[in-house]
Amino acid sequence: MKKKIIFSGIQPTGLLTIGNYIGALSQWEKLQKKYFCIYCIADLHALTIYQKKNILNNNILDVLSICLASGIDPKKSIIFIQSHVSQHTQLNWILNCFANFGVIKRMTQFKEKIYLNQNINVGLFSYPILMAADILLYQTYKVPVGKDQVQHIELVKDIARRFNNIYKKKIFTIPKKKLHENYGSCIMSLLSPFKKMSKSDNNKNNIITLFDNDFTIRKKIKHAITDSDNPPNIKFDLKNKPGISNLLIILSNITQISIKELEYNFQNKNYYDLKEFVINNLCLFLNKLRKKFFFYRKNEILLRKIMLNGAQKAEKYAKITLKKVYNIIGLNM
């Protein structure tokens, strides 16, 4: 049987955190077993914020290397750079004309961004329509995303349905969202565990980046907020024990030991023991990941080959959908 299609994207902006790894990359890696996966480095989306040329250039290669280091296999899956497949921007324009202004204006992420941003450009507004083009070009069955992207996926479904209805033909597959497993989208800030861990956080003690060294990891985890339960109680409880739960989620995702089993192992232990275990495992894990990262990152010739090959494979699929769209609209392609 033909495998169903998974599509997802990641923006090449800044230092990735352990949250990005657990929330996206580790999940992407696992999905390769069951699905045909298409992963895109969304460099065009990154342009909604002003980017310096060299930094953007490096970030794209960094993120590609991290994807490969995380086990995304270009032989099994397609990994490519969004701007290298021109069908994305072509379909984007067409979908602009099928997306409702009022609906897009109400996207919560857009409202947050215009509130925070000085550079309020139209790209920021039409961002989810480019996402729609990304997803719909590949007749995607499921899109793995974090909670923050759920509203965008609902919009993509709306656009696809509207298009299919107008032309009375199933041109686009209606995609489904796939939320991350094992609390993957719930990696919280270390010092304020009710707030999501975010690579743009000004206080770097809130985040563990994939490039923090052993010393920094130790310092940050030592400072991470727990609670003052007496006696100490290592239990998973997102509402009442967010700090401890956050450490358990991180630990479970990097060791593949279930949260239940971790709770069992840490019965009658104290927070010092838990933190030491987190520190040791994080250091081990990140050192391994970084080794693989540098293997790819130092080999730009290999990276360029992988990018070119990925774009060529993606284009083959993207062309088929775009042709159908052009034809049914009457663009005579």
Secondary-structure percent of the chain, ordered helix, strand, coil, rounded to 5: 55, 10, 35
**Residues facing residue 201 across a β-bridge:** none
Decide whether 108 or 265 has the Cβ nearer to ligand TRP: 108
**Which one of the spans 9-17, 99-107, 227-235, 267-275 is the region binding ligand TRP (CB under 6 A)?**
9-17
- Does 126 contact ligand TRP by CB under 6 A? no
- Does 44 contact ligand TRP by CB under 6 A? no
- Does 145 contact ligand TRP by CB under 6 A? yes
- Does 45 contact ligand TRP by CB under 6 A? yes
- Does 61 contact ligand TRP by CB under 6 A? no
Task: Say how far apart CA 186 and CA 23 lie, in whole Å.
Answer: 8
Task: Say how far apart CA 77 and CA 138 lie, in whole Å.
Answer: 13
- Inter-residue contact 149 to 173 (CB < 8 Å): no
Q: How far is the CB of 126 from ligand TRP (least distance, A)?
A: 12
Instruction: Give me the catalytic one of 4, 30, 113, 275.
Output: 113
Among 43, 62, 134, 315, binds ligand TRP (CB under 6 A): 134
Task: Say how far apart CA 289 and CA 21 lie, in whole Å.
Answer: 10
Report the number of secondary-structure helices (H) and strands (E) in the chain: 14, 5
Question: In the annotation, is 177 catalytic?
Answer: no
Q: How far is the CB of 293 from ligand TRP (least distance, A)?
A: 20
Question: In the annotation, is 196 catalytic?
Answer: yes
Among 60, 78, 131, 221, binds ligand TRP (CB under 6 A): 131
- Does 133 contact ligand TRP by CB under 6 A? no
Decide whether 92 or 245 has the Cβ nearer to ligand TRP: 92
Decide whether 65 or 92 has the Cβ nearer to ligand TRP: 92
- Does 242 contact ligand TRP by CB under 6 A? no
Print burial letters for 205-242: b (CB count within 10 Å at least 16), e (below 16): ebbbbbebeeeebbebbeebbbeeeeebbbebebeebb
Task: Say how far apart CA 151 and CA 154 lie, in whole Å.
Answer: 5
Q: How far is the CB of 7 from ligand TRP (least distance, A)?
A: 6
- Does 9 contact ligand TRP by CB under 6 A? yes
- Does 143 contact ligand TRP by CB under 6 A? yes
Among 42, 224, 282, 307, binds ligand TRP (CB under 6 A): 42
Task: List binders of ligand TRP among 279-308 (CB under 6 A).
Answer: none
- Does 12 contact ligand TRP by CB under 6 A? no
Q: What is the CA radius of gyration of the chain?
A: 21
**Residues facing residue 39 across a β-bridge:** 8, 79
Residue 330 CA: distances (Å) to CA of 39, 173, 271, 311, 333: 30, 20, 65, 27, 8
- Does 149 contact ligand TRP by CB under 6 A? yes
Instruction: Give me the catalytic one of 157, 196, 220, 241.
Output: 196
∠ CA 13-54-204, nearest 5°, is 40
- Inter-residue contact 9 to 67 (CB < 8 Å): no
Instruction: Give me the catalytic one of 4, 30, 178, 199.
Output: 199
Cis peptide before 231 (omega within 30 of 0): yes
Kindly compute the dihedral angle of the four CA atoms of residues 115, 119, 123, 128, in this order, to the nearest 10 degrees: -30
**Which one of the spans 96-104, 131-139, 207-215, 216-224 is the region binding ligand TRP (CB under 6 A)?**
131-139
Decide whether 99 or 135 has the Cβ nearer to ligand TRP: 135
Q: How far is the CB of 180 from ligand TRP (least distance, A)?
A: 12
- Rounded to the nearest 5°, which phi and psi values hold at 119? -95, 80
Question: In the annotation, is 2 catalytic?
Answer: no
Kindly list the residues in this chain that would bind ligand TRP in the complex (CB under 6 A): 7-11, 42, 45, 131, 134-135, 143, 145, 149
Task: Supply the residues annotated as catalytic.
Answer: 113, 196, 199
